Structures are given as C-alpha cells and as structure tokens.
Amino acid sequence: MWPKPKTALPTLLFVFLQLAVFAQDTTIDSLRATIGKTTNDKVRLKAYMLLTGKLSLISFNETIKVGEEGLLVASKLKDSVSYAELTRYLGMANYFKGDYEKSASYYFLAAGILERRNKQKELGYVINDIAKLYRKTRDLKRASVFYDRAYDLFRSLNDSSGMQMIMNESGVVYEYQGNYDEAIRRYRASLQMSTLLKDEAGRAWSLSFLAGVYGLQSKFTEAEDFNLQALGIRQKLKDTFAITLSYSDLGIMYGAWSKYERAAYYLEESNKVAEKMQYKELLSNNYAELSRIANVNGDYKKALDYYTWHTQLKDSLFTAQKTRQIEELSTLYETNKKEQQIQVQQFTIKKQNTQIFLILCFVAFTAVISFLLYNRYRWKQQVKLQTEILKQQELAAQSILEAEEKERTRIAKDLHDGVGQMMSAARMNLSSFYNTAKIEDSDQSRSLVNIIQLVDDSCKEVRAVSHSMMPAALLNKGLPDAVEELTAKISNKELQVSFYSEGFTERLNTTTETILFRVIQECINNCIKHAEASTLDISLIHDNDGISVTIEDNGKGFSNDLQQKEDGMGLSNIRSRIQFLKGTVDIDSSLGNGTLVAIHVPTQQHAVK
C-alpha cells in the first residue's frame, strides 16, 4: 500500500465550476487595474470576486490578500451573498495552506450567510467544503452526513454538475474506510456524469480518483492508465495547478510500483509549482515519498533532509487542538443558526401580527368563496357530465334494442315469407301427389302420409316461431292484446295461464311496448323451462304512477345463490332492459315456494305521440 494526498484534490473541482460561472475575457492585470481606477464600488466588487477566483489557482497568499480587500467593499455595499462567496474563497486558500482552523471559520461563516439568503446552490458547495474538513480530521461519519446534505441540495436543484462533484468527493470517505468497491462505483458514476455534461475538467478529476483507488489495491497498470488520461486532459486545458497534482499522483504511484526514477521526476516537477503556491500539504506528501525513495536508493542524507522537511510541514498543518477548534466552530455554527432562526421568527411575529391577521382573514374569506365557487362549478360540471353520459348510454341502449328488434322483424319476415311459403308449397304439392297418385303399397302410402304430416308440422312451427319473434298483435293492437294472445297459446292442462290488464286506454310507444313484451316473454319462457309450475298469473296495470307488471307461478322456485348466477335464466337481460326504461325489477323466490317477478316502470312519455 502507498500513501496518497487525497485530501488536497477534491476542492479544486469546485474552483473550476465556480470560475465557469464568472468566466470573462479578463486578465489578472486588467482586473487589478479596474480595482485601482474605478470609483464604482459595484464594479470594484465584481472585479475583486473575479480576481480572487483567478488567484485561487495561482497563489494562496495573494488570494487571501485580495479576498480580504474585497470583503471590505462587500460590507460597504451590504452585499451579503458576495461577502459569502469571497469568504468561501478565503476558506479554500487557507485550506490549501494548511490553516484548517481559519478555513473552518470562513466556511461556517459563509454557510450561515448563504443559508439565511436561501442560496441553495452556493450553500451546496460550502457544505461540500465543510465535509472535506471533517474528512481531513478522519471524522468520516460527520463527513458523510455533510456530503449527503450537499448531494440532496444539488439533487433538489437538478444540478448534475454538483451531484457529479459530490460523487467524487464522497467516494474518498469509502476509500478511507477500505470499501474500494463503493468508492469505484461512485467515481465511475461521476465519470459518466461528467462525460454526458462534456465537462473535461470533471472527467480529469474522476479519472484521477479512479487512479488513486486502483493504486491502493496495487493495480498499477490500471492506475497508470487513469493517471495518464487525467494528465493528458489537464495539459489540453493548460491547467497548471491540476497538472501539478497529476505529477504528484504519478510520482507516488510510480514509487509504490518501485519505478523510482520516474517517481522522483514527477514529484520534483510537482514541488516546483507547490513551493510557489505555498501548498504545504502537497509539499509534505511529496517530500515524504521522496524520502522513502531516497532511503530505498541508499541516499540516506537526502532521505533525512526530505523527511525533515516533510515533518516540519506536517507539524505546521494539523494538530489535535485544531481538530477541537473545528468541532467548536461547527457547534457554534449550528447553535448560531438556530438562534438566528428563533430571533428572525420572533421579530417577524412581533412586527407583522396585525398584517398576518388581516392577510389570514382575507385569505380565509377568499378561500371560502373560491371553495364555494369551485364546488358549485364542479357540481355543475359533474351534473352535466353525468347527464351527457346517461344520454349517451340511453342512446346506445336504444340503438341496440332497435337494431335487435329490426333483426327479429327481418328474421320473422324471412321465415314467414320465405321458408314458410316454401314449406306451404311443398305441403300442397305433396297433398296433390297423394290425391292423384295410385299407391298400391300400404307401407308406402303410410310413409307419404307421415311425410305430409311432418311438412305440415314444420309449417306450423315456422309460423309459430315467426309470430313469436314479432307478434302481429303487438304491431297492430298493442301490448295487452299481444300478451293475451301469447298466454292463450301456451295455456293448457299442464300449465294454466291467467292474464289481467287494466288502464291501457292508449297505445304505448313502440320501444316501451317491445321491451315489456320481451321481458314478459322471457319470464314465461323461464317458467316453462325451469319452474315446473301448474299455474302462471300475469297482470299488467297502467296508472298515474306508471306501468306495473307482476308474473307469479307456483313452481319449485330457486335459491338466492342461484339468483346471483343470473345469466342462466336471462335475469340479467331482464334487469338491463327494465333499467333502460328507468324502472325496477324485484324478484322474490325460494325453494318450493314459487317465484314472483314484480316490475315497475315510472310514469314518463310512454304514450304514442
């Protein structure tokens, strides 16, 4: 295994993203000139922010100097958001210098301001910086909490670039925990996001992180490939600072791979820029690796020198006291945030009690009126919709019934005029043949008589079916006469049928007559087929309330369970037809007690117009 300066890398990702926001065709010298010449504080503040961002990749000391000057202008203008952004730059500069106490102080100050101003995106970056501080102190649990909070902020904003950054940063926590699979999963997810976003700088960071975790697993071939890809991208972007970090990564990787000459070369190249920038952490890590390499090569004096420089820088970077100070700042930040929220709430309540009351009254009144109007509108729409649905259903049902009756009529006419006439002609011809032919064989004579009888019976059956499908009495005389004619035909010794009608002074409309006749016909058929009854009573009464039909037999009846299986006896068809007339059907039956079907159709336009 080999050490890797992982804590130094992630912060730069935000720098690139932030600079992208403020990218302009300006140089450091022109920005300094603007600050020195202009008297417009807003223009000066903007120049300070741009200059601080540019310097943050070149000189940490200059970043701090210019950033503090910018804070004075932001305070004068009372521009709290700009103040927070400059404060964050100062936090970053101190972080890279190794002054973590100051860095934490600036970060928590910036976070408090941005949270109060509800600047969610900017707050997400600061929360990420705070997470890195906890990661630096190896408080990985708190680091994960802050990373999750930053990720949630970016996700709520649908900020893919921010989410990609957090996937990289949080992967380091899992790397420290030895969970390399999860770290690689996060780095690869970040790489995929940056590729989709066409973010070359972001791709370089993901590749660099992947190189690190593969190096920790001694998979040096994969680590070298990822490191060289990252270096190539950074060289195309001419990003000197990021190139310096890639040199350091390559040096440490080659050192762990026992390729000491290459390692020393890349580490020395990295130190050239790190010394100019006063990047203590990177220098410390590089010197530690150079010391190890010199020791392996037998150059013990140089190894001691490198190690001495490494320990001096390391001691200046971090102590237990600084850890406690960071934790105290974190606690103070959380406490102040809560206190400020309480103060703001109390002030708002005291200042706006009357306004809130009036607003609430107005809102309540408006809400009630709106609710009533909306309910009325919705009720009207529902009524209109239901009316239209019922109308369409009635039209559809009527069309189906009319089509059904037309088909019955057509079939009845075809049977009567076609098949019936042909059967009659066949009988007449057979009878004529029988009367004129001299058949001496008695058996043949009896066979011919039987044939004539079968043809005669068939003629009667065809006429009966034709009349059943479309009774002439229903067409010519109306419903009562049609039902009476029907009952007269089926009444016999085995089944005595009685029929009573009252109140039919006028003809009903064709649809009502047809539906009621079919329903009565269906009930009679059910009685004949299933009831095994000896008597059947049918009454048909028309009064001011509507039309009442009762059909009662003394048959064997049926149970409630059988009623639920309606299709077998056509009860479902009966109900649907009566429902079309907006009527009701009540069926009372039990085993051994016969069946009573009571139908009522309310008064409406039943009479013929």
Q: Convert the pLDDT of each residue in 472-487 to its tens digit.
A: 667 777 888 888 888 8
Task: Give the pLDDT band of residue 19 (cuts 50, 70, 90).
Answer: very low
Per-residue pLDDT, 268: 92
Pick the CATH number of 159-237 from 3.90.950.20, 1.25.40.10, 1.10.287.70, 3.40.50.2300: 1.25.40.10
Phi then psi for 590, rounded to 5 degrees?
-150, 160
Query: What CA–CA distance (Å, rounded) separates 109 from 88?
Result: 8
- pTM score, whole prediction: 0.48
Query: How much is the average pLDDT of 344-370?
Result: 79
Q: What is the pLDDT of residue 329?
A: 59
H or E element in which residue 284 lies:
helix 280-296
Pick the more confident residue, 497 or 345: 497
| Model pLDDT for residues 372-427, shown as the tens digit of each residue | 888 888 888 888 888 777 677 666 666 666 666 666 666 766 665 566 567 667 76
Question: Averaged over 329-338, what is the pLDDT?
Answer: 61
Would you place residue 544 in the very low, low, confident or very high pLDDT band (cuts 50, 70, 90)?
Answer: confident
Confidence check: pLDDT of 9 > 60: no
**Is-same-fold flag (159-237; 239-322)?**
yes
Residue 346 above 70 pLDDT?
Answer: no
Q: Which fold has domain 471-602?
A: Heat Shock Protein 90 (3.30.565)
What's the mean pLDDT in 353-361?
80
Least confident of 167-171, 204-208, 254-258, 299-303: 299-303
Asked if the model's pLDDT at residue 510 lies above 50, the reply is yes
Q: Average pLDDT over the chain, rounded to whole?
A: 81
* Lowest-pLDDT choice from 104-113, 225-234, 260-269, 329-338: 329-338
Segment 559-588 shows an average pLDDT of 75
Tokens at residue 603, please?
A: 């008064």
Tell me what pLDDT residue 606 has. 52
Lowest mean pLDDT among 301-315, 395-409, 443-457, 521-535: 395-409
- Per-residue pLDDT at 349 exceeds 60: yes
Structure confidence at residue 18 (pLDDT): 38
Give domain limits for the chain: 9-133, 159-237, 239-322, 354-470, 471-602
DSSP one-letter code for 57? T
pLDDT digits (tens, 9 = 90+) for 240-295: 888 999 999 999 999 999 999 999 999 999 998 888 877 888 888 899 999 999 89
Lowest mean pLDDT among 163-172, 424-433, 514-523: 424-433
Query: Could you give the C-alpha distances from 81 to 121, 123, 483, in angstroms and in order?
Result: 12, 10, 92
User: Please, where are the H alpha helices in 98-219?
Assistant: 100-116, 120-136, 140-156, 160-176, 180-196, 200-216
For residue 205, the SS3 value is helix
Q: Residue 562: which pLDDT band, with cuts at 50, 70 and 90?
A: low
Which pLDDT does position 366 carry in this prediction?
86
Token pair listed for 552: 């009662």
Provide the percentage of residues in the chain whose pLDDT is more than 90: 34
- Residue 345 pLDDT greater than 50, yes or no: yes
- The CATH class of 239-322 is mainly alpha
Give whole-number Cα distances, 273 to 142, 168, 289, 370, 507, in Å. 33, 25, 17, 68, 110
Among 86-95, 174-183, 484-493, name the one with the lowest average pLDDT. Answer: 484-493
User: Which pLDDT does position 12 carry in this prediction?
Assistant: 43
Query: Is the predicted pLDDT of residue 522 greater than 80, yes or no?
Result: yes
Give the pLDDT confidence score for residue 344 in this predicted structure. 59
- Whose tokens are 């973010």? That residue is 199
* pLDDT for res 113: 92
CA dihedral 472, 473, 476, 480 (to 10 degrees): -150
Classified by CATH at the fold level, domain 9-133 comes out as 1.25.40
Q: How far is the C-alpha of 466 from the C-alpha of 347, rounded, in Å?
A: 93
pLDDT of 200 reads 92
Sequence-distant (6+) residues with CB within 8 A of 416 are 462, 463, 466
Phi and psi dihedrals of 546, rounded to 5?
Answer: 145, -150
pLDDT of residue 88: 93
pLDDT at 524: 87
8 A C-beta contact, residue 121 and residue 88: no
Give the pLDDT band (50/70/90) at residue 233.
very high
**Residue 24: pLDDT above 50?**
no
Question: What's residue 470's pLDDT?
Answer: 59
Mean local confidence (pLDDT), 60-75:
92
